[in-house]
Amino acid sequence: MTRAGTGKDAPSGAPPPRALPVAGPRRTRREVRRRLGAHRGRLAAALLTLVAGTAVTLTTPPLLGAVVDAVVDRAAPGRVLVLGLLLVLAAAAGALSALVGGRMLAALVQDVLAGLREDVFRTAVHLPADLVESSGSGDVVSRVTRDVEAVSEAASDVLPDVTAAGLTVALSVVGLAVLDPRLALAGLVCLPVHVLATRRFLARSHAVYGDVRRLESERGQSVVESVHGAGTVRAHREQDRRLAELARRSLRAVERQRDGARLRNRFTGLLNAAEFLGLAAVLTTGFALVRSGQVSLGAATAAALYFHRLFDPIGALLRSLDDIQRATVGLARLVGITDLGVTGDGEPTAPREAVPGTGIGVEDVSYTYDGVRPVLGGIRLEVPAGSSLALVGASGSGKSTLARLIAGLDEPTRGRITAGGGARYLVTQETHLFGGTLADNLRLARPGATDAELADALREVGADWALTGEYGLGTVLGPGGTPLDDGAVQHLALARVLLADPPVVVLDEATAESGPRTQALLRSALARVVRGRTAVIVAHRLEQARDADRVLVLDRGGMAGYGSHAELLARPGEYAALWEAYTSTGAVPGPRPPGATGGAPSGPGDAPSGPGGVRSGVVRARAGSDVADTGSGDADPGSDDARTGVEEARTGAGGSRTGAGESRTGCGDARAGAGEDRAGVGEARTGMVDARPVPGGARRRSEEAPAGSADAPPGPGGVPRAPGPVHPPSAPSAPSAPSAGPGARDPRTKEQHP
C-alpha cells in the first residue's frame, strides 16, 4: 500500500497536484533588501573599499596620457620616471583595494545566503506532508540543492565582479567626460546596441531559465521515484517504460537548455558588435580632434584607454546577466518556500487542544484535500488512555488520512481532535534510513541517549541482531555503509519509539514492509511498543485488529462499524465479512496469550523440509521464549513435529501432509494453500489459535499454547542459517526435538522413522 496523499487513502478525493510557490520579482527584491539591510555597516564598508580601489585604478589612463605627452614634448627623463612610478603605485593600490573590497562583499553575501539556506531548510522540514507529497519531493530537493547552488555561485563569484564592474563603468564615463565631452559622446554610439541586446536577453531568459529549473525538477522527481520504488518497478517489469519516461523528461530539459545556450550566443555576439562600434567611434573622433589641435595626443590616448577599459566591465556586467538570471530564478524559488512559513500555508500544524490524560477524542471530523471532495466525514470516536484502536478498511477508505489527523500532521476541515498533553509519535511504513551509524539513527528519538540505553531499547523490541555479529551501534548504515532491508529499518523505527517514550503512538502500517524473515520479530516489537500506551494502529493484517481494544471500520471515508472485535463479529457487517474471508485462507495466527508480546522473535535459520518435519522459511523459534512465532501462527518449539507453514496435521492420525497443507481438527479445516507465498517455500498460516504439539504428531487447533509456557531445552542438532546477506541475523533458533511420532521424518537426515 502507498501512503496517504499519494493515492493510498483517497483515490476519489486525492489532493490535486500542488506546486510549491515561486516568489515574484518585486517580492524577491524586497527580500534581498531586507536581508542585506540587516548588515548595513558591513555593506557600506565593502562598497566604500571597492569605490576607492576603482577610483585609484582609473587614474592610470590619465597617467599614461601624461607619459605620452611627456615623451612627445621631450620632457626630462626624471618626469617620465616619476609618472611611471605613480602609474605602478596606482595600479597596485587599486588592485589591493579591489581584492579587499571583493572579499568583504563576498563574505557578507555568504553570511546572508547562509541565513537564507537555514530558513529554507527550516521551512521545508516543517512543510505539511500533503503539500510535499502533492508537489513532489523532486521539487523540494531541486530547490535546496540546485537553486541554492546557483545563488551561492552568483553570490561568491558574480556579485563582487559585477559590483566592481559597475563602479568601473560609472567612473570611466566620468573620466571620459572630464577629458573631453566629445570623446564621451562618441563612445555612446555603442549604447543603443547594448540596450537592444540587453532588453532582448532579459525578456526571454527569465522564462527560459524558469523552464529549465522546472524541467530539471521533473527529471529529478522521475529519478527519485524510480530509485526509491526500484523493487516495485522490477516487480511490474516497468524498467523500460520508466527509462523511456526519464529519457523524455531529460530530452525536454536538454532542449530548453539549448534554447538558453542559443540565447546567450546571440547576446554575446551583439556585445562584441557594440564594443567594435564604440571603440571605432572614439578612435575616429580622437584622431580628428588631435589633427585639428583641439586635444593633445595624450588626452586622446587616455580617452581610448578609458573606453577600452570599459570592454571588460561592460562585458562582465552583461554576460553576468546569464548567471544573475539563473540566480534570480533560484532565489525566487527559495523565497517562495520561506514565504510559506510567513503566510501560514506551510506552518506546522498548530498544537492540539490539550486535555487531561493521554486519551484521544475525535469529534465529528471531516477532511478534504481540495476543499471540494471529502475523504473523511462524520468520524466520532474516543480512545481511552492506555487503550488501542485499530483502523480497518479497504485501500482508499481513509485510514491513513485519519491517522495523520490524529498524529497532528494535518488539521481536520471540520470538527476537532483532542489529545492528551503528551507528545504523539507517528511511525509509518515508509521509514527512512539516515546516513550515519546505527546509533545516530536511534538517537533521532533521544539525542542524549547513552549507548546502554540504545542497547536496552534494541533488546526490548527484540532487535538483538543489531548488537551481534557484523552489526553494532557503530555500524555505518546508508549509502556506502552496511545495507539493511525494509524490515530491519522498520525494526529500528520501533526501537526509536521506545527511546522517545511517547504516551500516544500512531502506527500507520508500521510493519507492512516486513518480509517473512522479519515479520515475527516486528510483530513482537509492535506489541511491546503499544503496551501501556494509547495506540492508533492502521491494520494491514486483521489479527492486529483482533488484538486491539476497539476497531473502527472505514468505508469511503465514513464509519462502517465501531466496537470491539467480538462485538463486530457478532453482528453482520463489513468487518464480519472481512474476517470470514480472511480466516477462510487459514492465514490468521492465534491471539496473543495474556502477558505475551506477540510471539517470540524468529531465528535465522530455515528449517529443512520433510513430510513429518516441514518448517517454513519464515519459521524461526528462539529458545527460552514463551511462544515461538511461526510467521503468523504460534507453535511451541521442542518437537520435531510438523510446524505450520506449508504442512497440515491431521488430528489423531499422527501423520502430516506437505504441499497445500490441510489441517482438520474435528471443528473445521483450514487450508494454508491460500497463505502468502514467501521466502522460497511460501508462508501459509494455518489455524486461528496457537497450536501445541500433542503425542502422535497431531496438533489440535482448539488448544492454545498457554502464556509463559517454556520452550524445550536445547537438544542435538540445530537450525541452519537462512541465506541472504542483506537480512540481519535474528535470535538463535530452538534446536530440533525428537520425533513426535510415527510417520515423521528426522529433520536432519530427512529419513522417515519406522
Q: Tell me, what's the pLDDT at 402?
A: 92
Of the pLDDT bands very low, low, confident and very high (cuts 50, 70, 90), residue 423 is low
Q: At what angle do helices 77-125 and 159-179 cross, to 10 degrees?
A: 140
Of the pLDDT bands very low, low, confident and very high (cuts 50, 70, 90), residue 77 is confident
Are the C-beta atoms of 101 and 47 separated by less than 8 Å?
yes
How does pLDDT run across 661-674, given as a tens digit for each residue? Answer: 333 333 333 333 33
pLDDT > 50? residue 543? yes
Q: Tell me, what's the pLDDT at 564?
A: 92
More confident residue, 737 or 454: 454
- pTM of the entire predicted model: 0.52
Q: How many CB atoms lie within 10 A of CB 463?
A: 27
More confident residue, 306 or 564: 564
Phi, psi of 81 (to 5 degrees): -65, -45
Of the pLDDT bands very low, low, confident and very high (cuts 50, 70, 90), residue 342 is low
Grid cell of 251 as nine digits:
530530452
- Rounded to an integer, what distance in angstroms lies between the CA atom of residue 496 and that of residue 70? 83
Residue 236: alpha-carbon gap to chain centroid: 24
CA quadruple 477, 481, 484, 485: dihedral, nearest 10: 120
Task: Classify burial at 566, counting beta carbons within 10 Å of its beta carbon; exposed 0-12, middle 13-18, buried 19 or more.
Answer: exposed
The total number of residues shown for the chain amounts to 754
Write out the E strands in 5-110: none
| Average pLDDT estimate for 283-294 | 86
- Residue 50, CA atoms < 13 Å, CB-side half-sphere: 24
Residue 404 one-letter amino acid: R
Residue 357 one-letter amino acid: G
How does pLDDT run across 615-664, given as a tens digit for each residue? Answer: 333 333 333 333 333 333 333 333 333 333 333 333 333 333 333 333 33
Q: Tell me, what's the pLDDT at 588?
A: 59
Q: Tell me, what's the pLDDT at 705?
A: 36
Residues 6+ apart with CB under 8 A from 428: 3, 508, 509, 510
More confident residue, 507 or 604: 507
Q: Tell me, what's the pLDDT at 565?
A: 92
How does pLDDT run across 380-421, given as a tens digit for each residue? Answer: 999 998 899 999 988 888 898 898 888 888 888 899 888 765
**Is 3 strand, coil or helix?**
coil
Poorest-pLDDT segment among 328-332, 338-342, 630-634? 630-634
> How far are the Cα atoms of 7, 87, 130, 437 from residue 370, in angstroms, in the given order?
14, 70, 11, 41
How does pLDDT run across 698-708, given as a tens digit for each residue? Answer: 333 333 333 33
